Amino acid sequence: MATNRPNRNNRNNKLLGYLESRKNLTGSACGITGLALTFAGVAGAYWPFVVAGLYGAGALLAPPERPPLPDFPDPSAQLDAVRWDFGKLRSYLADVELPPAAAGRLTELTELLAALLDPGWVAEILARDPEGVHALSRAVRTDIPEAVDTFVRTRWWARLAPGTEAPERHLERQLALLHEEVSVLAASLRETEARRQESHTRYLEDRA
């Protein structure tokens, strides 16, 4: 009994779903048209076939049911999650000892990220740029942790093999590239606001 009840409920849900579907509603409307033709004396003795045929034609011509889109978080909610993860990243970086040059580049990068992620009008502009949110998410969650962690592990091996290329050079280069990428994003957001200002100027000029 317990196993049959879910199956019965599933069949009932499917039946109710079909009764409310566009196919059934459109087919029913066409079937009602067939009944009207029957009462008008047009269908004659073949009225059951006329009604069934019109119902079937209406069901076939009805647009298919469109399933609802997945409820993904909007860019603003995604930005909140990135901001939370950035806080965890800064806590992690505070416990890592880096050479002065790399530490300086990392500070420049994290300060730029903090300015972009700080709640306010800048974050509101960024939230309207899904690609920008994705770029920051990748930098915070993948690129920076990977660069720092790889440096820490490679530095240990470099001590066992002196004379090899210093791992901090790679770290400095990686941080410089990330800073350049985030700077390009910041410049793009600045240009967006500049275009918005220019558009408002043209609007006022045209209205005058």
Listing DSSP states for 156-193 in one string gives: HHHHHSTTSPPHHHHHHHHHHHHHHHHHHHHHHHHHHH
Determine the pLDDT at residue 62: 59
Residue showing tokens 């280069």: 173
Listing DSSP states for 91-155 in one string gives: HHHHT----HHHHHHHHHHHHHHHHHHSTTHHHHHHHT-HHHHHHHHHIIIIIHHHHHHHHHHHH
**What gap in Å lies between CA 82 and CA 73, rounded to an integer?**
12
pTM of the entire structure? 0.63
**Phi and psi dihedrals of 190, rounded to 5?**
-65, -40
Determine the pLDDT at residue 1: 47
For residue 71, the 8-state DSSP code is -
**Which portions of the chain are predicted below pLDDT 70?**
1-75, 157-165
If phi over 0 gives left and psi between -120 and 50 gives alpha, with beta otherwise, what is residue 107?
A: alpha
Determine the pLDDT at residue 178: 96
Residue showing tokens 């309207």: 128
- Cα 22 from chain centroid (whole Å): 30
Two tokens, residue 197: 């200002």
Determine the pLDDT at residue 140: 96
Determine the pLDDT at residue 197: 85
Cβ within 8 Å of residue 189, ≥6 positions away: 116, 122, 125, 126, 129, 132
- Name the average pLDDT for the chain: 78
Contact 24, 55 (CB under 8 A): no
Question: Sign (positive/negative) of CA torsion 125, 131, 132, 133?
Answer: positive
Q: What is the pLDDT of residues 88-145, one digit of tens each?
A: 999 999 999 999 999 999 999 999 999 999 888 888 888 888 888 899 999 999 999 9
Which value, to the nearest 10 degrees, does the dihedral of the CA atoms of residues 110, 113, 115, 121 take? -170
